Structure 1
Amino acid sequence: FTTGAAGGLQPAPLTAPAAGNAGPQAPGCGRFEAQLCAMYERVAVAGKPDAEARELLERRSPSAVGDRIKVPTLIVQGQDDSLFPLDQADAMARTIEANGAPVSVDWAAGGHDGGMRESGRVEARVTQWFDRYLKGDEGAGTGPAFRVSRSGGLDSTDGLVKLRGASGDRYPGLTSSPREVPLTGREQTFANPAGGAPPALSSLPGIGGQLASLGAGLALDFPGQNARFESAPLSEELRVTGTPTLTLNVRSTAADGAAVLFGKVYDVGPDGRQQVLPGQLVAPVRVEDAGQGRSVRLRLPAIDHSVQAGHRLRVVVAATDLGYASPAAPASYTVSAQGPLAVPVADGVRTAAAGLPSWVWWLPLGALALAAGLLGVRRTGGGRGAVRAGAAQPEPALADVPLDITGLTKRYAKARDRYAVRDLSFRVEKGQVLGLLGPNGAGKTTTLRMLMGLIAPDAGEVRVFGHPIRPGAPVLSRVGAFVEGAGFLPHLTGRANLELYWQATGRPAEDAHLAEALEIAGLGDALERAVRTYSQGMRQRLAIAQAMLGMPDLLILDEPTNGLDPPQIREMRDVMIRYAAGGRTVIVSSHLLSEVEQSCTHLVVMDRGRLVRAGEVAEITGGGNTLLVAVERPVDGVTVEKVAALEGVASAVAGDGGILVRLDGATPAALIAELVRLDVPVSAVGPHRRLEDAFLTLIGGTA
């Protein structure tokens, strides 16, 4: 709603009401009709829609005009989309097909939770569809009646997710060719906590699908807040295409007799630890009149996912989920599974075996030639977002180098001649604590995001231990990162938070090195206390410990001392130094120059996206032409002006402990002689070793 309101929630000008509108716009409604705005505000306060809201929404919904759509329709729906799931595409397809219109359905990779990852293929198909049905070009291909993009794993050369197309000559719907999978699990009672908190985690709204596509999806279910039902290990691979369904018996102690549940199906590995939530999707369901028990058919999220032989299916029915509102009043739900899980397999859908990418196989010959030409350009041009056949292989000579950046460049998306990072190159060795410095807008955060594989560079490359960084690159498991504002569950202890975080990664518990990380973080007995009792400094150290789980060889810390008082900052400094002392490497981005000077061994100074200086801290602070003239007693402004006017002196300013003099041709010996002539009470002259002044000298006026 905020996005749709013009200018966010700024008051809109009062205008004459549009036809059918209830009146002038209210402040904050933007371009929304007053009737819709009032309905939204009423429902947002109540937490659920009333009868009037339901009637209005249904009247404005596409379902209200579905029986009037009789033109050829191509429906493209993202598979990783918790806002518009695949069952919406299914409802459209069934409605329009009933009108006798030609319909094709395309399940594309991506969605609102991570962006459309194959927009080029989708645009090409839409163009073909329009050529056929708007231009009337009888030779234009329209593609199969049903197509779905399937992950082919990670490319071994560049770490990018490979996609393959599967298709069928008819749209199978969501429950085609169901296969029954028996489940075990007794009747279970669990709680909806007061306030609906803490909620289970199925995805991070807006990016959950993107995480899933990179193999980095997270899922977290709290004990006592869900029921679980599990299959035996599968004897053969099972390809799920559609909506698994399961009959449940539900009882609720809520005052209104209702139960709000969230269903999801996991793919669980042979050891039981690694589990994948396909698409990071969850199905919400509200069961009315469940006070005395009620049978309900649970429709789990529609997915296309392959479950390997030896894996199991796990159905979880939870009381809460981060992506949805749930009742605030505490209640308990009792749930039992009635029969097997029905899994659709869509036997008529076949995966393309062609060597070309899946998005070109169905195009007509003319378009196929164009697609092949585009592929040639992308494979050789190496431009932005290119998928290169000859992508860089691991470099054995850099196998022991934690970080090597060469020619790294990133332009601003809407300004092709402006650069966030430009031709940046530097190297970080083992055991170093490297400070990444620069004024606001220097490109530090963009550099760190490219380093962690979150965004792709326009040119240049990042190598970690010789491996090129791409989204999902396996070498990223050797990198730990702390970003300001780590989210902890306040009612749990520090130890429980760390253990749950590590469980969510799916890696074995013995790989966490929990004791070692905690020793470095130095939390002591506070580890067994609830996080809500922690000071800001303790939360920061817990966040550092979380980043150190698994003892990554390269640790990235972005502003780790934010919000800390001086004693806490000193403790954080000790944490970084102790971590690097074991032969590991730390990169820290910070605005506290005095702390960087005391904790870092090396520096990289950036300005306007470029490298200004790189080297050891002592080299950068001790070099140059700036001297500190210590004086026995304070000197007046006239004396400082006389020093500044000396030949070979560029500037002189009074500072802490004396006069800061920047030479421009004069030697230190000549300067001392002139100071004595001016009766300046000199007690010592030496290189000025404060990082702050060296930093300001390096970046000039941009500070």
Structure 2
Amino acid sequence: MAVAGKPDAAARALLAARSPSAVGDRIKVPALIVQGQADSLFPLSHADAMAKAIRSNGAPVAVDWIAGGHDGGDRETERVEARIGAWFDRYLKEDTGAGTGPAFRVSRTGGVDSTDGQAQLRGATGDSYPGLRSGEQTIPLTGAGRPQTFRNPAGATPPAISAVPGVGGGLSQLSSLGVGLSLDFPGQHARFESQPLTEPLRITGSPTVRVTVSSDTGEAVLFGKVYDVGPDGRQQVLPAQLVTPVRVGGAQNGKAVELTLPAIDHEVEAGHRLRLVLAATDLGYASPATPATYTVGVTGGLSVPTAPGVRTEATGLPWWVWGLPAAGALVAAVLLLTARRRTTAPAPDPELADVPLQITGLTKKYAKSADRYAVRELSFRVEKGQVLGLLGPNGAGKTTTLRMLMGLITPDDGEIRVFGHAIRPGAPVLSRVGAFVEGAGFLPHLSGRENLELYWRATGRPTEDAHIDEALEIAGLGDALARAVRTYSQGMRQRLAIAQAMLGLPDLLILDEPTNGLDPPQIREMRDVMIRYAAGGRTVIVSSHLLSEVEQSCTHLVVMDRGRLVQAGPVAEITGAGDTLLVTTAGDVPDPLVDKVGALPGIGSAVRTDGGLLVRLDGATATVLIAELVRLDVPLTGVGPHRRLEDAFLTLIGGGSA
């Protein structure tokens, strides 16, 4: 049933036996029903059904709609527990002096607390429970009588968005303040709107509407919702982030049904409109994967309950409503006067206009510490076309350095200049910097290209400046760009994230651990992406713990330890010093000859490798070795130092880990 959405006879019997409705006619004791407004699992309609069933038995019933619920938000734990305690005192301890509260109470958002950003709640009460259809008013809808046709796409993707997991509860509380997140895709929904309201309208309960539905498959799955739309017609808020899923069968030739929309408590301001939307998909629900065409028409208007007997509690203005703004204005004035000199960025340095990065005396102390440094007196320079590897053991200060470079945190001393401009939070020159740090979040139902286009539009920069095709060509995603991101492998997601960092073709690209979670072939592909990007004269800075990959992909290194610079320079220069020499030969060296080289005085060992021999010196010099190789008729073509980056790194930092 969870997959198909269609209960069979056994499932229906089980639901009927386990549902509260199976015992509703036997509950004859006083009942306090507490239900969350931010709850798509157990909506307010469930509390309504319980209240009606128990009240019909003659028992006292009180209903309390709290602000939170299973979707999140404020569950008002302290207030609810106090009310439950008073209820038990009254009906279990028979304390006639205990107050049980009103027959109906609903928590309403009355603003935002400026001290912690939380929604402020006010109670609205009624002498009796109004139900979900009290004081109904009919709101005419434009387009009523003119059916609209739309489609359920193959695979039901992309789905409409009514709530985002993890934030839906918080948004539902703030929906009355004009904050919300929702999205309906063109061609996948029908919508009908009211005229602008001439006066405020408080909706308390479940709006209803009569519609006629037809489907070319004979069955339609719809998701009904009512938006509060601002005067501009674009800003829309979905109260409590709730939708009503409904399956309409027997709709081959059209079927008339009454839809009961989500129960809400929401005030619509004068000048706003109501927008009824019937969508074919929703991110929070499963929809038929088979394509279908639906036609929906509205009969009459939208009936909205107003619960006229419910009154909002009056609240006085606390002192901070007027006191904090005045104090804030005074503090802001003082800060502007005293901090202007400190926050003004130094003038650009024309001599560094072509230098991607120069760091001078960079210092950052740990928070709440006077003598412990995350980065201390760090200085280095990066030129155009370089792929710079930033190396160091855990705690060396690499991430702190990158965060300061991107303007995310402010150094205690020193400066960072990018193309001659000093870095400050929000500095304009940061538009020439692209960054990939700890992965990127993508909408899984959109394709790779659609995700990049959406990200670039969010920056507000001109479309022609994105250079999406160039970035994608470097990232090498090929035909996968047209597929939904949820089908991507980890390596493809990493490359898409780097392509996102490359949008606009920034002159300086910062990559923090870009190979995390990748297998060896994917790591090799990532290496090629970095090399191709720098080949165009741009600069790449990469922080990684995979020393072998850094050695193969980077041209220069900066090695840090305990916040300080240990060494900086070309990779070949840093790995060049060592006691092992690479002897290149014109052909393969036979085993007996290899043994003779290894037995020479002052030679520690000799082993065959691709293209020659690796010879470890143990007292002999390179000059002596060459003379002996010539004497033994080794087909010598060259001799040079050979040391792995890992050996050099461990030597520099004294045996730590990257």
Distance 1:219 1:541 in 2: 29
Per the alignment, residue 465 of structure 2 pairs with 516
Superposition RMSD on alpha carbons, in Å? 6.0
Q: Which residue number in structure 2 is paired with residue 174 of structure 1?
A: 132
Kindly indicate whether the alpha-carbon contact (under 8 Å) linking 2:38 and 2:69 is maintained by their aligned counterparts in 1: yes
- Quick one: structure 1 residues 198 and 512, their matched pair in 2 at CA, closer, same or farther if it must change by over 3 Å? same
2:89 & 2:654 partners in 1: Cα distance?
Answer: 56
CA offsets 1:484-504 (integer angstroms, 9 cap, x no match): 6734446x5x5544556788x
Quote how far apart the aligned CAs of 1:107 are.
2.7
2:483 match: 532
The number of residues matched between the two structures is 543
1:336-394 superposed Cα distances (whole Å, 9 cap, x missing partner): 1112222333342315524679xxxxxxxxxxxxxxxxxxxxxxxxxxxxxxxxxxx99
Amino acid corresponding to residue 181 of structure 1 in structure 2: I
Once the two structures are TM-superposed, the CA of residue 570 in structure 1 deviates from its matched residue by: 4.0
Q: Which moved more, 1:292-301 or 1:529-538?
A: 529-538
Native 8 Å contact 2:180 2:237 kept in 1: yes
Q: Distance in 2 between matches of 1:533 and 1:137?
A: 62
TM-score calculated relative to the size of structure 1: 0.59
Indicate the residue corresponding to 1:52 in structure 2: 10
Q: 1:47 to 1:574 in 2, by over 3 A?
A: same
What amino acid does structure 2 have at the position aligned with 1:345? Answer: T
CA distance in 1, matches of 2:534, 2:314: 51
- 1:202 and 2:162 aligned: yes
Amino acid at match of 2:58: G
**Equivalent residue for 2:417?**
none
Deviations 1:114-172 (A, max 9, x none): 365544444444444444444555555444433333344555555x2322222213433
User: Are the equivalent residues in 1 in contact too, given 2:495–2:526 (CA < 8 A)?
Assistant: no
Determine the structure 1 residue equivalent to 2:260: 299
**Deviation of 1:220 (Å):** 2.9
Asked if the contact 1:167–1:352 (Cα under 8 Å) also holds between the matched residues in 2, the reply is no
1:486 aligns with 2:442: yes
* Residues 131 and 137 in structure 1, CA contact (< 8 A), matched pair in contact too: yes
Find the counterpart in structure 2 of residue 192 from structure 1. 152
Change (3 A) 1:223 1:138: same
Identify if the C-alpha distance between structure 1 residues 590 and 279 changes in structure 2 by more than 3 Å, giving closer, same or farther. farther
Structure-2 change in CA distance of 1:169 and 1:587 (3 Å): farther
Residue 219 of structure 1 corresponds to which residue in structure 2?
Answer: 182
Preserved contact between residue 151 and residue 164 of structure 1 (Cα < 8 Å)? yes
What is the aligned-residue identity percentage?
Answer: 50
Mapped to 1, the partners of 2:29 and 2:186 lie a distance apart of: 50
Deviation per residue, 1:605-648 (Å, 9 max, x gap): 9xxxxx964779849x99x9x974453569989999999xxxxx
* CA apart distance, 1:324: 1.8
Secondary structure at the aligned position of 2:55 is classed as helix
Equivalents in 1 of 2:604, 2:275: separation in Å? 81
One-letter code aligned to 2:205: G
Partner Cα distance (2:8, 2:367) in 1: 55
Residues 109-128 of structure 1 aligned to structure 2 (within 5 Å): 109-114=67-72, 118-128=76-86
Aligned to 1:62: 20
**Letter paired with 1:49:** P
Instruction: Report matched runs for 1:342-353 at 5 Å.
Output: 342-347=303-308, 348-353=310-315
Aligned equivalents of 1:94, 1:121: Cα separation in 2: 24
| Secondary structure of the corresponding residue to residue 67 of structure 1 | helix
Q: Pick the aligned partner of 2:194 from 209, 224, 231.
A: 231
Alignment map for 1:640-655 (pairs within 5 Å): none
- Conserved in 2, the CA contact under 8 Å of 1:110 and 1:116? yes
Secondary structure at the counterpart of residue 131 of structure 2? coil
Kindly indicate whether residue 129 of structure 2 is the aligned counterpart of residue 163 of structure 1. no
Q: Please, which moves more after superposition, 122-131 or 65-74?
A: 122-131
Residue number in structure 1 paired with 2:37: 79
Separation in 1, partners of 2:466, 2:227: 30
Give the aligned partner of residue 326 of structure 1. 287
User: In 2, are the aligned partners of 1:513 and 1:550 still within 8 Å (CA)?
Assistant: no
Instruction: Decide whether the 8 Å contact of 1:541 with 1:572 is kept in 2.
Output: no
Aligned residue runs from structure 1 range 575-654, under 5 A: 592=546, 613=563, 618=568, 628-631=578-581
Unmatched 5+ stretches in structure 2:
320-334, 347-362, 383-387, 409-422, 427-433, 584-593, 606-612, 627-638
Distance of aligned partners of 1:575 and 1:82 in 2 relative to their CA distance in 1, 3 Å threshold: farther
Query: Mind listing any 5+ residue stretches in structure 1 that lack a counterpart?
Result: 1-42, 358-392, 410-422, 454-463, 468-477, 606-610, 644-656, 661-671
Contact 1:226 1:319 in 2 (8 A): yes
* SS of the residue 1:340 aligns to: strand
Q: Return the alpha-carbon distance in structure 1 between the equivalents of residues 53 and 555 of structure 2.
A: 64
SS in 2 for 1:56: helix
Q: Offset of 1:196 from its aligned partner?
A: 3.2
Contact 2:109-2:174 within 8 A present in 1 as well: no
CA gap 1:190/1:407 in 2 versus in 1, 3 angstroms: same
Distance in 1, Cα, partners of 2:435 & 2:90: 50
Q: How does 1:198-597 map to 2 (within 5 A)?
A: 198-205=158-165, 207-210=167-170, 218-254=181-217, 257-347=218-308, 348-354=310-316, 483=439, 486-489=442-445, 494-499=448-453, 511=460, 513-519=462-468, 522-523=471-472, 531-532=482-483, 540-544=494-498, 560-561=514-515, 563=518, 564-571=522-529, 592=546
Residues 400-451 of structure 1 show CA distances to partners (whole Å, capped at 9, x for unaligned) of 89xx999779xxxxxxxxxxxxx9977999x9999798879x9x9xx99xx9
Residues 89-168 of structure 1 mapped to structure 2, 5 A cutoff: 89-114=47-72, 118-156=76-114, 158=116, 160-168=117-125
Q: Distance in 2 between matches of 1:341 and 1:261?
A: 17
CA distance in 1, matches of 2:504, 2:273: 27
Residues 1:131 and 1:195: Cα distance change in structure 2 (over 3 Å): same
Say if 2:152 and 2:281, in contact at 8 Å, map to a contact too: yes
Return closer, same or farther for 1:133/1:540 CA change in 2, 3 Å cut-off. Answer: same
2:225 maps to a residue whose letter is K
Aligned position for 1:38:
none
Name the amino acid aligned to 2:49: A
Cα deviations by residue, 1:443-490 (Å, 9 ceiling, x for unpaired) = x9xx99xx9x9xxxxxxxxxx9889xxxxxxxxxx9998746734446
Residue 64 of structure 1: how far off its partner (Å) = 0.8
Further displaced range: 629-638 or 564-573: 629-638
Comparing 631-640 with 195-204, which one deviates more in the overlay?
Answer: 631-640
SS at match of 1:523: helix
Query: How many angstroms apart in 2 are the aligned matches of 1:324 and 1:154?
Result: 31
Query: Residue type of the partner of 1:511?
Result: G
Distance 1:579 1:342 in 2: 64
Contact 1:67 1:95 in 2 (8 A): yes
Q: Flag the 1:698–1:217 CA change in 2: closer, same or farther, 3 A.
A: farther
C-alpha displacement of 1:263: 0.7
TM-score, length-normalised on structure 2?
Answer: 0.63
Q: Any idea what SS the aligned residue of 2:252 has? A: coil
Which residue does 1:16 correspond to in 2?
A: none
**CA offset at residue 546 of structure 1?**
5.7
Q: Give the drift of 1:59.
A: 0.9
The 8 Å contact of residues 399 and 465 in structure 1, kept in 2 or not, is answered as no
**Partners of 2:391 and 2:558 within 8 A in 1:** yes
